[in-house]
Amino acid sequence: MSEGSEEARMPSGKARPDGTVAGLSDAVRALRAELIDAMAAGKGEPLQFELGTVTMEFAVEVTADVEATGGVRFWVVELGGTRKVGRAATHTVTLEMKPRTSSGRSPMIADEE
């Protein structure tokens, strides 16, 4: 997903490896934003749905962070492409989350008619 010779960047401005689409935390953050938008759009609708368990599954690449922080980073990889880079390996990560509002309740999402 690189554009020309420019490195792809995350919202934080850090470069991300070729063949990846986002950091794992960026993908979860994007889902949270979508769910918040759905809740706002459904406020006051006559039919609402309680949001149950949300399951997200990703193909991820684990890399060592060579910057000052050290540690490990998880990158969501592009589907449909193949790539071989040094010691990088692709793994599957499944996250099961039970969303709660800031008050601790299960979120409600309304049907849009």
What digits encode the pLDDT tens for the residues 100-113?
888 888 888 765 44
pLDDT at residue 33, rounded to an integer: 92
pLDDT at residue 81, rounded to an integer: 53
Query: Cα dist. 74→31, 42, 61, 77 in Å?
Result: 17, 33, 6, 9
pTM over 0.75: no
Residues 44-95 have pLDDT tens digits of 888 888 888 899 888 888 877 666 566 777 788 876 655 554 456 778 888 8
Q: How far apart are CA 1 and CA 99, in angstroms?
A: 31
| pLDDT beyond 80 at 27 | yes
Distance of CA 45 to the CA centre of its chain: 28
Place of tokens 């960026």: 26
Residues 28-43 have pLDDT tens digits of 899 999 999 988 888 8
CB atoms within 10 A of CB 90: 13
Q: Which DSSP category does 65 fall into?
A: -
